[in-house]
Amino acid sequence: MLVLPDRDAAEEAAEAIGERFRLNEEPQLVRDALAGEDDAEDAQWLLLLRDEEERLDPRELEEFVGRWDGWREEP
């Protein structure tokens, strides 16, 4: 799971990830409202990746998502 600060960053990363990594499926974009926040601006966006074969290098994913001030988390 990659966490991004806003929708624009998440959409850009979703497009670019296919070029950088060979994925079997398209990543899923999900809005994650911060706890206790009602404002739509106070949301992170998650880019959910399926990597059942564990082919993706966690360090490469960290570097990739860092371009958009994001980070990688384990689900």
Tens digit of each residue's pLDDT, the chain (75 residues):
999 999 999 999 999 998 888 888 889 999 987 655 555 555 899 999 988 888 899 999 999 999 999 999 987
Nearest-angstrom CA–CA distance, 74 and 70: 14
Tokens of 19: 């070029």
pTM of the model: 0.82
Question: In this structure, which long-range contacts are made by residues 60-66, counting pairs with CB atoms below 8 Å and at least 24 apart in sequence?
Answer: 60/21, 61/2, 61/21, 64/2, 64/13, 64/16, 64/17, 64/20, 64/21, 65/2, 65/3, 65/4, 65/13
Nearest-angstrom CA–CA distance, 18 and 70: 17
So where are the chain's domains?
2-72
For 22, which DSSP code?
-
